[in-house]
Chains A and B, each alone.
Chain A
Amino acid sequence: MSNPEEQQSKRFFIPDFCHTQSVFIVILVAELLAILLSLARFDNENFWTILAFYSLFIQWVALISAACLCLLRGWLRNLSDIKAGTISYVIILLITLIASLLAEMIQQWIEPNIPGTKVNPVLANLMVAAILAAFWLRLFYLQAQYRLRIQAETEAKLQALQARIKPHFLFNSMNILSSLIAIQPDKAEQVVDDLSTLFRASLREHREMVSLSEEITICKHYFHIESLRLGDRMTVDWQIEGDITPYKVPSLLLQPLVENAVYHGIQPLVEGGAISIVIQATAQRLDITIRNPFDAKSHNDRRGNNVAVSNISDRLALLYGEDFTFTRQQLDREYVVNIQLPLSEQDPS
């Protein structure tokens, strides 16, 4: 029984042309284009006539394109960005083609005697449409990417802060400290050290890359606090194979995942269990697997966890594009998280 969670949050990059505001902007931009093209003719006498013709034609194409994109929006947003972009592009070109052919026919019908100009007007229209549509689609895409990035970064920051200042973690740590100060003051000192390491990490810039070994150290500090709290109910098994020194990972990549393993895996189990973290590094790729026992029955609250998971997946997508995998699997009695990353070229500084 496997149940890999699909968590691709869909954010569609093409603006919603069903909105009056967008339609207004389309009209405005189309009109600006008409003015621009009319001015480019350098024909003072016929300027207004030319503008009228251009306006009519461009508005026609632009509004029908917008209407089509509005109607197809529901379908397009379920496709990949590349497919949706290509289809939108083809639609705009088709509409331009049809409109141009119709315009040509009408013109022939009204004034059949005017001989064809040097440049085929249908082809010229198509070229203009092709260039402009490509430009706009690219612009929309970049804008959406930018927005996504800002959003993910802000979320990551906020979330990391909340993760550390998460009331139960804070209060649990305070409880541990107050117990230890009386019983084992030297261990209390160590917990203060663990806590400050964790707080320092969560206050770091979120775009920052840290060495994998640093991230592992942070996880170990975290585990130290939790092992004091959970006693012998929790064991942690690290297996590191290969040379991890060249690998850098986004700061706080693993810690939220091992925290999930503790809170959702070990803590609800009376008998506790073992968390296993296997890291395999080759010359090109890094493979990290975190396993924890999981009892679906004793479990009713998984809300907090998905926020952390989707945030990690967003950050990885920004850093590595398509070149990474991040899977979560809930097996019968076990929860497995796997991350595979390429050797990153990015320099942190």
Chain B
Amino acid sequence: MKLLIVDDEPLARARLISLLNDHPDISSMVEAANGLEAIEQYKDSQPDVILMDIRMPGMDGLEAARHLAQLENAPIIIFTTAYDDHALDAYDLNAIGYLLKPVQRDKLLHSLATANRLSSDQMSKLPRAQRKFISAQVAGKLQMVALDEVYYFRAEQKYVVACHDNGELLLEETLKALEAELSQRFIRIHRSALVAMDKIAALVKTPSGQTVLTFSGIDVQLEVSRRHLPEVRKTIKQLSQR
């Protein structure tokens, strides 16, 4: 059994390693210090089980788990967490099970012996509101893009395409779900387009009478539908006042 230990605190990782060092079934242990590193490490070492801390800087454990769960042979994830006042109340952690830190040896061994992959029902209980990255499986590998780098999402027949700094990513999510989740930072400008507010440059009227939206950073124009125009105008006005 190959193990990936994810925790931002080196001592917490050291403790888990020392607890499992003499475990006969474990062939290797690798470490990562945050969610994003965990995903990178996962690609390299293909662990069977991930011990994942929940609170980490950058990408937290819950978001990393959500991205990893898209993979066909997703790893088994066991969450670990320290007591952390109300920060974790919002998550229904009982649905997925977790180990409290400092992790006790018997409990850890027990979870390793009994852990299963998260069911899709459990996955749906992981928080959806706070992710910082979008991800998709590309040729069997997980491709990650930071939301900060996304200009817009465009709905195509079957997929949603995310246009970002370094190209495009095909997502298996609906534009509607993305809009609901990302409404703080993205605005719908058309039935088929969701745009990052901080990337908007201007609204331009074309000679043919259409209104299009331009971006700072890329040379793309997207049509703004008449239905969404008032809302878009209002948002741009608010943004310029900030």
A180 at the interface (CB under 8 A from B): yes
A182 to B14, CA, bound (A): 9
A174 at the interface (CB under 8 A from B): yes
- Taking CB atoms, residues of chain B closer than 8 Å to A167 are 83-85
A78 at the interface (CB under 8 A from B): no
By Cβ-Cβ distance, the 3 closest A-B pairs, closest first, are: A179-B15, A178-B102, A270-B58
A/B interface sample: 19 pairs, CB < 8 A: A167-B83, A167-B84, A168-B82, A168-B84, A175-B11, A175-B12, A175-B101, A175-B102, A179-B14, A179-B15, A180-B11, A183-B11, A183-B15, A229-B11, A230-B9, A268-B57, A270-B36, A270-B57, A298-B57
Q: Mark A164-201, 1 if CB is under 8 A from B, else 0.
A: 00011001101110111011000000000000000000
Contact B83 A178 (CB under 8 A): no
How far is the CB of A147 from the nearest CB of chain B, in Å? 30
- Taking CB atoms, residues of chain A closer than 8 Å to B102 are 174-175, 178-179
Q: Mark B87-116, 1 if CB is under 8 A from A, else 0.
A: 100000000000001100000000000000
Most buried by B among A167, A175, A180, A231: A175
- Taking CB atoms, residues of chain B closer than 8 Å to A134 are none
Chain A residue at smallest Cβ distance from B9: A229
Contacts A179-B102, A231-B9; is A267 near B57 (CB within 8 Å)? yes
Contact B12 A179 (CB under 8 A): yes
B241 at the interface (CB under 8 A from A): no
- Taking CB atoms, residues of chain A closer than 8 Å to B10 are 231
- Taking CB atoms, residues of chain B closer than 8 Å to A298 are 57-58
Number of interface residues of B (CB under 8 A): 20
A176 to B58, CA, bound (A): 22
Chain B residue at smallest Cβ distance from A168: B84
Chain A residue at smallest Cβ distance from B11: A179
Contact A171 B11 (CB under 8 A): no
Q: Tell me which residues from 118 to 176 in chain A have a Cβ below 8 Å from any Cβ of chain B.
A: 167-168, 171-172, 174-176
Number of interface residues of A (CB under 8 A): 23
Contact B11 A168 (CB under 8 A): no
Contact B101 A171 (CB under 8 A): yes
A182 to B101, CA, bound (A): 15
A269 at the interface (CB under 8 A from B): yes
Chain B residue at smallest Cβ distance from A174: B102
Contact B11 A228 (CB under 8 A): yes
A179 to B102, CA, bound (A): 8
Q: Mark B160-189, 1 if CB is under 8 A from A, else 0.
A: 000000000000000000000000000000
What residues of chain B have their CB less than 8 Å away from a CB belonging to chain A? 8-12, 14-15, 18, 33-34, 36, 57-58, 82-85, 87, 101-102
A49 to B11, CA, bound (A): 87
How far is the CB of A253 from the nearest CB of chain B, in Å? 25
Q: Mark A233-249, 1 if CB is under 8 A from B, else 0.
A: 10000000000000000
- Taking CB atoms, residues of chain B closer than 8 Å to A229 are 9, 11
A168 to B84, CA, bound (A): 6
Contact B57 A172 (CB under 8 A): no
Contacts A168-B84, A168-B85; is A175 near B57 (CB within 8 Å)? no
Contact A171 B83 (CB under 8 A): yes
Contact A171 B18 (CB under 8 A): no
- Taking CB atoms, residues of chain A closer than 8 Å to B12 are 175, 179
Chain A residue at smallest Cβ distance from B33: A270
Q: Mark A336-347, 1 if CB is under 8 A from B, else 0.
A: 000000000000
A343 to B34, CA, bound (A): 46
Chain A residue at smallest Cβ distance from B132: A298
How far is the CB of A70 from the nearest CB of chain B, in Å? 39
How far is the CB of A272 from the nearest CB of chain B, in Å? 8
A175 to B19, CA, bound (A): 14
Most buried by B among A172, A267, A298: A172
A174 to B84, CA, bound (A): 13
Chain A residue at smallest Cβ distance from B7: A175
- Taking CB atoms, residues of chain B closer than 8 Å to A267 are 57
Contact A168 B83 (CB under 8 A): yes
